[in-house]
Chain A
Amino acid sequence: MTEQDQFEPVIIGFTCNWCSYRAADLAGTARVKYPPNVRLIRLMCSGRLDPTFVMKALASGADGVLITGCHPGECHYIEQNYKALRRYQLLKRVFAQLGIEPQRVKLVWASAAEGVKLAHEITTMVEEVRALGPLHWGASNGREVHDHLPTEDMELPEEAEVMA
């Protein structure tokens, strides 16, 4: 595969306002480089992560989802990152049943001081997902492809509801 047609995955990242979003800011301030395949969404807390968001991102064309939060014990809202952890564990089981490779959904703890760590985790994940190839759940894949809309894929499995 030449460099031109190398598969470029699109990964949606969910970050916590207090730690990992600030880690991303810090990576920027420190000019730490990582591949441009990750697009971040800010939430107030990893506990805000509705499992539906992950489903939605994959169903809409993302090849992977990165979930980040404060280290256990350091949650700005005391303990909500543990709830994110629980949901993540359940999500992983659901994804296994749906035949999605476990590397596509990753949970990373990154404090506001860990810009380098976050950049490293992003880099690793991009390479892992690149190796897996496209997910083909959604149509657009985050690029300007206009074939069809993934309407039928949007019906969420029931597990997602139970997860919360």
Chain B
Amino acid sequence: MTGPFDSASKSPERIGVYVCHCGTNIAGVVDVAEVRDWTEKRLKGRGVIIARDYKFMCSSLGQEMIEKDIQKLGLTRVVVAACSPHLHEQTFRNACQRGGLNPYLSELVSIREQVSWVHTDKHAATDKAKAVVSGGVERVIKNEPLEPLRVPINEATLVVGGGIAGIQAALEIADAGFPVYLVEREPSIGGHMAQFDKTFPTLDCAACILTPRMVSAGTHRHITLMTWSEVENVSGYVGNFTVTIRKRARYVNTELCTGCGICQEKCPKKVIDQIYEAGMGYRKAVYTPFPQAVPRYPVIDKPNCTYFSKGTCKACEKFCPTNAIDFNQQDELITVQVGNIILATGYDLFNARRIPHYGYGRLANVYTNLEFERLSNAAGPTNGEIVLRDGKTKPKSVGIIHCVGSRDRNYNNYCSAICCMQSLKFAHLVHERTGATVYNFYIDIRTTAKAYDEFYQRVLEEGTLFVRGRVAEVTDAARKPEEEGRLIIQVEDTLAGKQRRIPVDMVILSAGLEPRKDAKETAKLFGISCSADGWYIEKHPKLDPVATMTEGIFIAGCNTGPKDIPNTVSQGAAAAARVLGRIQQKEIFIEPVRASVNQDKCSGCRICNNLCPFNAISFIEDRKVTEINAALCQGCGTCVAACPAGAISGTVFSNEQVLSQIDGLLMLNLEYMKEAPELVAV
């Protein structure tokens, strides 16, 4: 710890201070010239030998000004008062480097985001700007020259999630010739897209466009596919992650299995398929989720298998022509080394049971969107026949309710982005296949991407009816004879300005998209951040949408928020491009924000030992001192703050830097002026 501010000592540094106007962004509120004059006069004794102001410090002329001053005036420290360090810290560090000064001997302090943009009183804002500059000057004096850490990049990449985003990302990287581990929790890759029938707005068959991609991913020589597997542990850092993957026992020897499907035929145990068929159809206890599954090997669902629960059966084993069934198989833990990780973990559907007045789960003919996808799918439980739950009656009228669980402050405020187009697609399919009357109950129609609005016009022309208003209730309580035995949709038609009761035979709820139930645990496992909802947070929502705050971990697809297929695929490809860029660099530079232990000072109290979530701190038993592994340290500084002996120091945010900045911000550094009274009267 430093003591009280030492007014007697003058800083030996030669500091240059540059105050930016940012056009009128700063200069409109802060009197930039006054800040410059004040700095030059009042902080002279602290080593400020030059203070300048300039219209745009980040422009090439502004940067050259710094470079020239470093060379001509021999500056040893640089302070720029401009925008947030998150915007231009690197810019000015680079300028210092070009001028011949170690980049970490500069400091960017924010007088835009933290002063001119948030304050209106010009006098007070100018005073605060002076304090902020003063804080920066004191801090920069304590800065140390540092070198960024060079980290070699392992060429392999882990892709988590085998939906279309993960498949796209894996293929892009593998096609470039680098190894990929593609990990999927379910028995097959394909994700939600494999469940769909048609894709809007072109009405391509989902399986027809997805299956070739799945096959490519399954057979690619650079892709190691691990389905029925989950990531258990992640350690390490960008370039050098060590990942432990639990490959669950399939009870099928994939070396011997040919995927002939006889086991599935012979298995006597039928199970309702809650995942792939969305509860609409059955599968066996030994199964592949769908015929085009990749890989084609089945898995035995242990909790539902008769042999595992009762000890007899083994029908699959008896009939398997290649003796591939192996009831003794155990889970395997596989450890892989990768340089980068792409998370493409997808979404869960909003649980429509949470809105009891829409009757899902209580009224038989209320379907969710995913159920309807299976119902309309030619490979689905009804072979694509759109029929009611009785399995034979075709509906004469169908109501599609938009925004179920989305744009609703009781559930989710956000728009789920895909429901409008999906509902229009359903309307088209119902119309085409049954000729039924279709009602869409919507709040707003949002058809913003390419060819989307044209599709909307087409559905309008087909005669689908649109009622604007949020549905109040779906009920089977008839009030009139024509409502008997039907579902009645109670809605306020906000365009007609009246309440309506519309009887229909089938209701489809366009349930919104939600983060995966375990999204937060996954975020924790990989050390990335997610919003309160559970959506993952991008490094920058606009400019860096597939990177995260954690170096080396990228995100793609619906885990950052609802997306349609084109956007999801773009993100998969974008994440792959980011990873490929990294791999091609062969090594990357990371910020040298790291903690280290002065072992002469360390008392071996071990207070810090349990504080590190990255396991960077270890205790050396024979010498009774603590050690920090710089490669594992992420630079949070918690141990630095905790060390009672002051034996741990942290670069870039050292105690000296922070304490000096406090002095500067509180203008204690002006105390020295007592020695130079001629300068006090500014």
Chain A residues in the interface with B (C-beta under 8 A): 8, 10, 12, 18, 21-22, 24-25, 27-29, 31-36, 39-45, 47-53, 56-57, 60-62, 70-71, 73-80, 83, 87, 111-113, 119, 138, 140-144, 146, 149-151, 154, 156, 161-162, 164
Contacts and interface: CB of A to CB of B under 8 A. Distances in A.
Contacts of B115: 36
Nearest to B650: A48
A47 B634 CA distance: 12
B545 interface: no
B142 interface: no
A7 B680 CA distance: 24
A74 B548 CA distance: 13
Interface stretch (B278-286, B324-332, B658-666): B658-666
16 contacts: A28-B110, A36-B118, A39-B131, A39-B135, A43-B637, A44-B653, A48-B636, A50-B640, A52-B659, A71-B532, A77-B614, A77-B636, A138-B666, A140-B668, A162-B644, A164-B643
A81 B124 CA distance: 32
B521 to A, nearest CB: 11
A56 B659 contact: yes
A83 B638 contact: yes
A22 B86 contact: yes
B604 interface: no
Contact of B671 (A71, A113, A141, A146): A146
B665 A142 contact: yes
A36 to B, nearest CB: 4
Given A43-B658, A142-B665, 10 more contacts: A35-B119, A36-B115, A36-B124, A41-B661, A45-B636, A48-B636, A74-B530, A76-B549, A144-B670, A156-B1
Tell me the dominant secondary structure on chain A's binding face: loop
Given A28-B118, A34-B118, A76-B549, A164 B665 contact: no
A140 B671 contact: yes
A75 B659 CA distance: 24
A27 B113 contact: yes
B91 to A, nearest CB: 16
Contact of A61 (B7, B549, B668): B668
Contact of B127 (A31, A36, A161): A36
B135 A48 contact: no
Nearest to B132: A39
Interface in B614-662: 614, 634-638, 640-644, 650, 652-653, 655, 658-659, 661-662
Given A44-B593, A47-B636, A164-B607, A144 B128 contact: no
A61 B112 contact: no
A17 B516 CA distance: 27
A142 B86 CA distance: 26
Given A12-B665, A18-B549, A60-B663, A41 B613 contact: no
Nearest to A26: B113
A142 B671 CA distance: 11
Nearest to A52: B1
Contact of B641 (A35, A48, A141, A149): A48
A45 B652 CA distance: 13
A27 B117 CA distance: 8
A33 B115 CA distance: 10
B549 to A, nearest CB: 6
Given A42-B85, A44-B635, A111 B641 contact: no
A79 B680 CA distance: 47
A12 B135 CA distance: 11
Interface residues of B, number: 68
A156 to B, nearest CB: 8
A74 B5 contact: no
Contact of A36 (B128, B641, B680): B128
Interface in B106-142: 110, 112-115, 117-121, 124-125, 127-128, 131-132, 135
Contacts of A24: 113-114
A30 B207 CA distance: 45
B513 interface: no
A42 B673 CA distance: 28
B527 interface: yes
A47 B641 contact: yes
A73 B171 CA distance: 34
Contact of B3 (A49, A143, A154): A154
A28 B666 contact: no
Given A44-B636, A77-B636, A60 B644 contact: no
A74 B523 CA distance: 9
Contacts of A56: 659, 662
Q: Which 6 A-B pairs have the closest CB atoms?
A: A28-B113, A48-B637, A47-B638, A77-B636, A28-B117, A45-B636
Contacts of A43: 637, 653, 658
A111 B667 CA distance: 30
A83 B642 contact: yes
Given A29-B113, A150-B4, A79 B121 contact: no
A161 B637 contact: no
A150 to B, nearest CB: 7
B376 to A, nearest CB: 38
Contacts of A29: 113, 117
Residue of B118, B128, B131 with highest tally of chain A CB at under 10 A: B118
B26 to A, nearest CB: 11
A60 B131 CA distance: 14
B35 interface: no
B84 interface: yes
